[in-house]
Amino acid sequence: MIPDAPYVSSISQRPTVSGSLPDGTVVSSNSARYHRAHSGDTSGWHLLSGRLPGTVRHDTGNAMNAVFAHLPVMLEQITDVFSDMNDGVFLDATLGGAGHSTAILTAHPHVSLLGIDQDDMALDSAEQVLAAAGCSGRVALRRARFDAAALIAAKEGISALSGALFDLGVSSPQFDVAERGFSYRFDAPLDMRMDRTQALSADVIVNTYDEDALTSMLRRNADERHAYRIAKAIIAARPIHSTVRLSDVVSSAIPAPARRRGGHPAKRTFQAIRIEVNAELEILPGALRNVISLLAPGARLAVLSYHSGEDRIVKSVMRSAETGDCDCPPNLPCGCGAVRSVVRVRAPRDASRAELAQNPRSSSARLRVVEKIQIESQN
C-alpha cells in the first residue's frame, strides 16, 4: 500500500515552492528557469478526503466553470491489459478524469493507486470521481509532471509497480474549457499550460520565438509541411494573443488546396505549440524508461498515444527495453552484452469501430503495451 501522507484539501492552497538550479540560484517554481530545470511541482500530496461528490465542477474565479469529465479512450482494451494484474501499486502517470484508474481499482480491490497529473482541475475532479467509486482508502494523488513518477514512487518507498498507464496528450475537458486556450474552436487567450503555475505559455512561444525556432518546433512536434510559411506569417502578424487570431494567421499562411483537406488547417500548429509548452516529447522517453524499470515481474505498462511523434517515441523506448539496444545479427548469439529488461512487447492496438462511433477522440489513439518478465544479461 502507499504510505500515508499529509492531506491537502485544495491544490490552489499549496504554497509556491522554491528550488535551486545547478548553479546554486534559488528560483520560484513559477519561473521559466525552474520549469525547465525541474521535472514538476513536487510539493505536497493531494489525498482523497473521503467526501462523496455531487457534480464535479471547478470555480476558478473567472468564466471557467466546467465539468471535468470525459469518456476514457480504449477503456475496454485497457482494463483487459490489466485484467490479471497482481496486487500492489498501480501508477496512473497521467490521471486526467481518473476514468481508467476508477475502472481498474473497481476490478482489483487489493490494488492501490498512485495518481499523477500536473493539472489542478484534473486532480480535483479525480479526487471526487474516485471517492464516489469507494476507492478513497486506496488512493494517493500528486500534482506533478509524469516524468516525476519514478522520483515520487521512490520517495514513498514504492520499489515495484504492479502496473502503469500513460494516457498522453490533452483530455477532452481541457479542450472544451475555452479559457485554457488549447482549442481554435473558442476565442480565448493563448495559454495551453497543463500546469497553470508555470511561466511558459503559448503566448510566450507565439510572440517570442524567432523564425528558425518556430519552424523547427512545427516540424518536430507536428510534422507540419508548411512550417516555414506559418512561422513567417506568425512573426509578421505579431502581437498575437488569442486562439482565434492565431488560427486565422495560420490558415491564411497555408496554400488554399492544402486548407481544403486534412481537417482544420491550424490543427497541427496548435498541437505543436501545446507539445512545446508542456515539453511533452522532450520528457517522454526518460519517463517511460524510468517506469519500465519499476515494473515488477509480470507487470505491464500501457501507453496511449495520439500522434505519430508520440507513437514513434513509445515504440522506440519499448523496443529498446526489449532488446537492450542489441545490434547483433538476429540469427546469432548476442555478443555485445545487451541487457534485456522487457522481453515481450505486445502488438499495438487501435480503437474498435464501436468506440470510434461513440468517442471520436479515439480515432487517433494507438495503444502499446510491454510486460516485464525478468532481467537477464546476455554475454
What local confidence, expressed as pLDDT, does residue 329 receive?
A: 77
**Residue 202 located in a structural domain:** yes
Greater confidence, 369 or 357?
Answer: 369
Structural domains in the chain (count)? 2
What local confidence, expressed as pLDDT, does residue 339 receive?
A: 62
What local confidence, expressed as pLDDT, does residue 366 receive?
A: 94
C-beta of residue 104 within 8 angstroms of C-beta of residue 98: no
Q: Are both 372 and 248 inside the same structural domain?
A: no
Q: Does residue 27 surpass a pLDDT of 70?
A: no
Q: Does residue 249 surpass a pLDDT of 80?
A: yes
Q: Are both 156 and 46 inside the same structural domain?
A: yes
**Residue 188 located in a structural domain:** no
**Residue 361 located in a structural domain:** yes
Q: Are both 82 and 102 inside the same structural domain?
A: yes
What local confidence, expressed as pLDDT, does residue 42 receive?
A: 34
Q: Are both 244 and 295 inside the same structural domain?
A: no
**Residue 193 located in a structural domain:** no
- C-alpha 138/C-alpha 113 separation (Å) is 6
Give the residues across from 46 on adjacent strands.
141
What local confidence, expressed as pLDDT, does residue 367 receive?
A: 96
Residue 35: helix, strand or coil by DSSP? helix
pLDDT tens-digit series, residues 69-97: 567 899 999 999 999 999 999 999 999 88
- Written as one letter, the residue type at 362 is S
- Written as one letter, the residue type at 196 is R
Q: Are both 292 and 360 inside the same structural domain?
A: yes
Q: Give the CATH number for residue 164.
A: 3.40.50.150
Q: Could you give the C-alpha distances from 140 to 38, 69, 100, 302, in angstroms and in order?
A: 22, 20, 15, 20
CA dihedral 176, 177, 183, 186 (to 10 degrees): 100
**Residue 297 located in a structural domain:** yes
The last residue of a domain, from among 242, 277, 312: 277
- C-alpha 351/C-alpha 261 separation (Å) is 23
Q: Does residue 50 surpass a pLDDT of 60?
A: no
What's the domain range around 267?
198-277
What local confidence, expressed as pLDDT, does residue 162 receive?
A: 97
Q: Are both 290 and 263 inside the same structural domain?
A: no
Confidence of residue 3 (pLDDT cuts 50, 70, 90): very low
Cell matching residue 294: 519499476
What local confidence, expressed as pLDDT, does residue 341 receive?
A: 58
Q: Does residue 67 surpass a pLDDT of 80?
A: no
H helices of the chain, in order, are: 32-37, 75-81, 99-107, 120-132, 149-155, 172-176, 202-208, 211-222, 227-237, 243-253, 256-259, 267-277, 280-294, 308-323, 353-358
What local confidence, expressed as pLDDT, does residue 19 receive?
A: 34
What local confidence, expressed as pLDDT, does residue 171 receive?
A: 60
Q: Are both 157 and 210 inside the same structural domain?
A: no
**Residue 240 located in a structural domain:** yes
Q: Does residue 61 surpass a pLDDT of 50?
A: no
**Averaged pLDDT for residues 262-290:** 92
Cell matching residue 336: 555485445
What local confidence, expressed as pLDDT, does residue 340 receive?
A: 60
**Residue 181 located in a structural domain:** no
Q: Are both 228 and 241 inside the same structural domain?
A: yes
Sign of the alpha-carbon torsion through 289, 293, 297, 299: negative
**Averaged pLDDT for residues 353-371:** 89
Q: Does residue 222 surpass a pLDDT of 70?
A: yes
Per the prediction, the chain carries an average pLDDT of: 79
Number of other CB atoms surrounding residue 147 within 10 Å: 23
CA dihedral 305, 306, 308, 309 (to 10 degrees): -70
Q: Are both 266 and 286 inside the same structural domain?
A: no
**Residue 5 located in a structural domain:** no
**Averaged pLDDT for residues 341-349:** 76
- C-alpha 134/C-alpha 105 separation (Å) is 9
The last residue of a domain, from among 218, 250, 277: 277
Confidence of residue 16 (pLDDT cuts 50, 70, 90): very low
pLDDT tens-digit series, residues 167-204: 997 765 555 565 676 777 778 899 988 888 899 999 99
Give the residues across from 88 on adjacent strands.
111
CA dihedral 288, 293, 297, 301 (to 10 degrees): -10
Q: Are both 271 and 300 inside the same structural domain?
A: no
- Written as one letter, the residue type at 69 is A
**Averaged pLDDT for residues 106-126:** 92
Q: Which range scores top for mean pLDDT: 100-109, 270-279, 353-362?
A: 100-109
Greater confidence, 119 or 251?
Answer: 251
Q: Does residue 26 surpass a pLDDT of 60?
A: no
Select from 80, 44, 70 the least CA-distant residue to 163.
80
The last residue of a domain, from among 249, 277, 305: 277
Q: Are both 240 and 298 inside the same structural domain?
A: no
C-beta of residue 126 within 8 angstroms of C-beta of residue 58: no
User: Is the omega angle on the peptide bond into residue 15 within 30 degrees of 0, that is, cis?
Assistant: no
Greater confidence, 59 or 93?
Answer: 93
Q: Give the CATH number for residue 202.
A: 1.10.150.170
Q: Are both 217 and 136 inside the same structural domain?
A: no
In the chain, the N- to C-terminal Cα span, in Å, equals 38
